[in-house]
């Protein structure tokens, strides 16, 4: 690590304050160009610690930048990982208040719920599928705290991979009932289809993203508890939304889930 503890705490407070105040900032590597990967995840950990200390519960994890469409959109080449807090959750068909956010975008994802602990190292698609209770459609709302979504991978990891809200629902399905590589998804905004894809867009199989997440956590001495929600990553490019928009994600064989954006 290249940053001292005081700097990690300062940067975590800065990024979390930006989230809580719905205020943007420039990417933190401008000021701290020597920040390394461990520093980036240490800042994310400190943000998580602050939320838990304030009473939030961690309900799961996310993999981000797992499709080539997303990597190309953001100009990066590696996935990244973050956590999901309880207050990120929007009820199915519910409202997401744009006044609490900076510049939200939505991503169509396959959401996984674990029935047993998921633990690395050596986790692979088979381990993941054996530990999953069910999968269902999920829309992640991302809201980078960085101005105009301009960041590098270390800055975005520190910023908990732009996580801010999500909705899951539709028809939960056992993993044995569906081929997650060929499952088709359609994202609609205000009733119009705006993005299409198939599960294989996420690292060939969405469970491969979960395996990467589990091995990443194992390297840091962590595991995913039973009953956790995991978002496996956007299947298509992210789509910008504003107050007045509604979005709906239809996933083949898994029904649909949606949310409304209000002022
Ligand atoms: O969940 C994601 O794929 C987003 C990761 C962070 C990058 C972004 O803000 O687009
Ligand atoms: Mg995502």
Q: Is residue 239 part of a domain?
A: yes
244: in domain: yes
Cα gap 232→259, rounded to integer Å: 19
Say if 28 falls within a structural domain.
no
In the numeric block, the tokens 């980078």 are attached to: 144
Tell me the pTM: 0.96
Q: What residue ranges in the chain does DSSP mark as E strands?
A: 58-64, 80-85, 95-97, 105-114, 132-142, 163-168, 184-189, 192-198, 229-231, 239-240, 246-251, 255-262
- In this structure, the residue with its CA closest to atom 3 of ligand 1 is 64
- Is residue 8 one of the residues assigned to a domain? no
How far is C-alpha 54 from the chain's CA centre? 21
Q: pLDDT confidence of 225, banded at 50, 70, 90? A: very high
CA of 79 to the centre of ligand 1 (A): 9
**What's the number of domains the chain is made of?**
1
**CATH classification of the domain holding 225:** 3.90.850.10
For 121-178, how does the pLDDT look when each residue is reduced to its tens digit (9 = 90+)?
A: 999 999 999 999 999 999 999 999 999 999 999 999 999 999 999 999 999 999 999 9
CA of 140 to the centre of ligand 2 (A): 5
Residue 48 in domain:
no
**% the chain with pLDDT above 70:** 100
The pLDDT of residue 70 is 79
Report the atom number in ligand 1 closest to the C-alpha of 65.
3
**For residue range 5-22, what is the model confidence (pLDDT) as tens digits?**
999 999 999 999 999 999
Q: Residue 184: which domain range?
A: 57-262
Task: Express each pLDDT in 61-105 by its tens digit.
Answer: 999 999 888 788 888 888 999 999 999 999 999 999 999 999 999
């Amino acid at each position: 690590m290249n940053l001292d503890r005081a700097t990690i705490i300062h940067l975590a407070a800065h990024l979390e304050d930006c989230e809580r105040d719905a205020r943007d900032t420039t990417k933190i590597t401008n000021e701290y160009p020597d920040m390394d990967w461990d520093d980036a995840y240490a800042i994310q950990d400190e943000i998580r610690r602050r939320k838990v200390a304030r009473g939030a519960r961690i309900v799961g994890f996310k993999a981000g930048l797992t499709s080539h469409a997303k990597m190309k959109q953001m100009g990066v080449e590696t996935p990244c990982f973050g956590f999901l807090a309880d207050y990120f959750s929007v009820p199915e068909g519910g409202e997401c208040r744009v006044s609490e956010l900076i510049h939200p975008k939505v991503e169509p994802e396959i959401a996984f719920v674990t029935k047993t602990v998921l633990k690395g190292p050596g986790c692979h698609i088979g381990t993941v599928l054996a530990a999953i209770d069910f999968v269902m459609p999920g829309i992640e709302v991302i809201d980078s705290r960085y101005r105009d979504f301009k960041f590098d991978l270390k800055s975005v990891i520190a910023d908990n991979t732009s996580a801010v809200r999500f909705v899951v629902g539709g028809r939960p399905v056992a993993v044995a009932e569906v081929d997650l590589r060929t499952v088709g998804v359609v994202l609609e905004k205000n009733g119009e289809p705006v993005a299409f894809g198939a599960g294989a867009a996420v690292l060939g199989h969405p469970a491969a993203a979960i395996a990467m997440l589990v091995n990443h956590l194992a390297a840091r001495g962590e595991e995913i508890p039973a009953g956790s929600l995991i978002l496996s990553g956007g299947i298509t490019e992210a789509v910008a939304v504003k107050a007045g928009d509604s979005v709906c994600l239809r996933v083949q064989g898994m029904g649909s889930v949606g949310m409304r954006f209000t002022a």
